[in-house]
Amino acid sequence: MNQPSSNRKSRSGIFHIGIDDTDSSDGMCTTFLTYKLVEILLRKSMTRLIDYPNLIRLNPNIPWKTRGNASLVLRLETELSRQTLFRICKSVIHRYATSERANAGLAIFEGAEVPDRVVEFSKGAMFTVQSLTEARSIMEKEGLSYYGLRAKQGLVGALAGIGNELKSDYTFELIAYRKNCSVRRTLDKSRIIGMDRDTRPLTFNCYDEENDRVLIMPHGPDPVLLGIRGETPRAVKEAFQMLLPLNNLLGYMIFRSNQGTGEHLQNELDLSSPKAYTSGKVNGIVSSLPRVEKGGHVYFNLRNEQGEIPCAAYEPTGKFRMNVLSLYLGDEIEVAGGIRKNTPKHPKILNLEYVIPLKLVSHWKEQNPKCPQCMGTMSSEGRNQGFQCKECGFKSKSVSKLKTRVERQLTEDRLYLPDLKAHRHLTKPLQRYIYEKSNSGNSAIARRGEFLENWILTS
Ligand SMILES: [Zn+2]
């Protein structure tokens, strides 16, 4: 039958595809699976991404997370049906999420506007523990298609990823993959150091100067060759080009991400009932003097109107522990981090991810007075008995101890962070606070949907 051509044209729909928990310590990486999926989808006619693939890091203080607790999201417009899309995604997951420990989850939402309920669920997943039951219930109510492997725990992250459209702060990462995973990653360190120097502050966390450590290259068996993080797609691309030619390079893709934004610490922690595995920030007063314990970990207590909690700066945080040790009783500070579960031996502990001194107490040191006759040192004759000079014997009741102010090692309103090597994916590095101030946020950055040419290189 003859139909008008306008009727024959199929309508294209907008889809949000969330994938999580396909990786494991034995080799797979969800970003690689996403890379392969994008490669397949871009070959389909009338399919285009409306945003860079999103790499969403979720609450890093959950112990059963996969390596980086990452959720991957594709937002696209296509003439493919939801069923076809679902089938393609499922087959890619089956092909790549083969580890016995990959409790993969796939969720697909159809529509331009992500429902509020999904957005709310996603906000919670940044700092607390969201349940699989809750994720399932929301997906049913909002009509998402979903699919999980094994324990299906990845459905939580898949849904949470869809709900985080990176509407406030965000960064980019170019991740390059390798052809052969059994070939060792080799890259000249001096080139990375040069690239880091030439591209900062538009790139971040490429190289830890203090500890002389390269941060762009992983060490595991996964297909990632390297990852470069930065403020704009152009910045990460140009930094990458400085490292070419690269041995064993398969291809690369640029992701938009909440890495380096500190998004998990926006939540206010409640010290009256701190919940294990939650992340967030809290203000309080230092209520016990910081002390070093076995293993080089530093502990102190923090108190506010709601309650009191031990705080810890663990050994791997490096020089950060010296800053924490410089705190005094009574200092008013803002701290952030994750609540560690209590054990039979220890109460719940706040694992510190930053400290900001708000109001530092004055710290005084008392010294015996100098003799007015010979400038020798006087010593106390006992309470209210005055002082006597050790040198000439001069006695006086009218002199008193000298008080001198001890110079504090910390500065008010300054942010103190662990060493770079101890940063989490979500940790907002110092240079981003400074960059933000000088550039008023992301205004200069390509907005969602504006694609750089060659943002993906497929094999
Ligand atoms: Zn004297």
Compute the distance from residue 404 Cα to the ligand 1 centre, in Å. 21
Answer for the pair 76, 49: CB distance below 8 angstroms, yes or no. yes
88: helix, strand or coil: helix
Predicted TM-score of the model (pTM) = 0.88
Compute the distance from residue 254 Cα to the ligand 1 centre, in Å. 76
Compute the distance from residue 377 Cα to the ligand 1 centre, in Å. 7
Compute the distance from residue 400 Cα to the ligand 1 centre, in Å. 15
Query: In the chain, what are the domains?
Result: 11-163 (3.30.70.2200), 171-262+437-457 (3.90.600), 265-362+408-425 (2.40.50.1010)
Compute the distance from residue 389 Cα to the ligand 1 centre, in Å. 5
Which residues lie near ion ligand 1 (Cβ < 5 Å)?
A: 371, 373-374, 376, 389, 391-392, 394
Contacts with 184 (C-beta within 8 Å, 6 or more apart), sequence order: none
Answer for the pair 260, 205: CB distance below 8 angstroms, yes or no. yes
Compute the distance from residue 74 Cα to the ligand 1 centre, in Å. 82
Dist CA 135 CA 155 (whole Å): 7
Spatial CA neighbour of 386 closest among 400, 372, 374: 400
Compute the distance from residue 401 Cα to the ligand 1 centre, in Å. 15
Residue with tokens 């008995």: 385
Compute the distance from residue 378 Cα to the ligand 1 centre, in Å. 7
The backbone torsions φ and ψ at residue 304, rounded to the nearest 5 degrees and listed phi first, read: -140, -170
String of b and e for 108-145 (b: at least 16 CB within 10 Å)? bbeeeebbeebbebbbbbbbbbbebeebbebbeebebb
Compute the distance from residue 163 Cα to the ligand 1 centre, in Å. 77
Q: Tell me the CA distances in angstroms from 375 to 164, 368, 386, 387, 404, one per residue in order.
A: 70, 12, 16, 13, 18
Compute the distance from residue 393 Cα to the ligand 1 centre, in Å. 6
Taking only the tens of pLDDT, the chain with its 459 residues reads 344 444 445 577 999 999 987 665 555 688 899 999 999 999 987 899 999 999 999 999 887 655 567 899 999 999 999 999 999 999 998 888 777 777 889 999 999 999 999 999 999 999 999 999 999 999 999 999 999 877 788 899 999 999 999 998 999 999 999 999 889 998 889 999 999 999 999 999 999 888 899 999 988 888 999 999 999 999 999 999 999 999 999 999 999 999 999 999 999 999 999 999 999 999 999 999 999 999 999 999 999 999 999 999 999 999 999 999 999 999 999 999 999 999 898 899 999 999 999 999 998 888 888 898 899 889 988 888 889 998 999 998 888 888 888 889 999 999 999 998 888 899 999 989 887 766 654 544 444 457 888 899 987
Residues paired with residue 97 on neighbouring β-strands, in sequence order = none
Compute the distance from residue 391 Cα to the ligand 1 centre, in Å. 5
Compute the distance from residue 396 Cα to the ligand 1 centre, in Å. 10
Compute the distance from residue 43 Cα to the ligand 1 centre, in Å. 93
Residue with tokens 């506007």: 113
**What radius of gyration do the chain's Cα atoms show?**
28
Compute the distance from residue 405 Cα to the ligand 1 centre, in Å. 25
Half-sphere exposure of residue 363: CA atoms within 13 angstroms, side-chain side: 14
Compute the distance from residue 73 Cα to the ligand 1 centre, in Å. 79
Residue with tokens 């200069």: 444
Compute the distance from residue 368 Cα to the ligand 1 centre, in Å. 13
Dist CA 304 CA 283 (whole Å): 7
Answer for the pair 409, 402: CB distance below 8 angstroms, yes or no. no
**The Cα angle at residue 152 between residues 149 and 154, in degrees rounded to 5:** 105
Contacts with 249 (C-beta within 8 Å, 6 or more apart), sequence order: 176, 177, 178, 179, 225
Among positive and negative, which fits the CA dihedral 409, 415, 416, 421?
negative
Compute the distance from residue 397 Cα to the ligand 1 centre, in Å. 14
Residues paired with residue 278 on neighbouring β-strands, in sequence order = none
Compute the distance from residue 371 Cα to the ligand 1 centre, in Å. 5
Dist CA 419 CA 264 (whole Å): 19
Compute the distance from residue 407 Cα to the ligand 1 centre, in Å. 29
Neighbours of 259 (CB within 10 A): 26
Helices (H), 29-176: 30-43, 82-96, 116-127, 132-141, 154-163
Contacts with 31 (C-beta within 8 Å, 6 or more apart), sequence order: 55, 70, 72, 175, 224, 253, 255
Compute the distance from residue 398 Cα to the ligand 1 centre, in Å. 14
Compute the distance from residue 374 Cα to the ligand 1 centre, in Å. 4
Spatial CA neighbour of 327 closest among 302, 296, 353, 306: 302
Compute the distance from residue 380 Cα to the ligand 1 centre, in Å. 13
Compute the distance from residue 373 Cα to the ligand 1 centre, in Å. 5
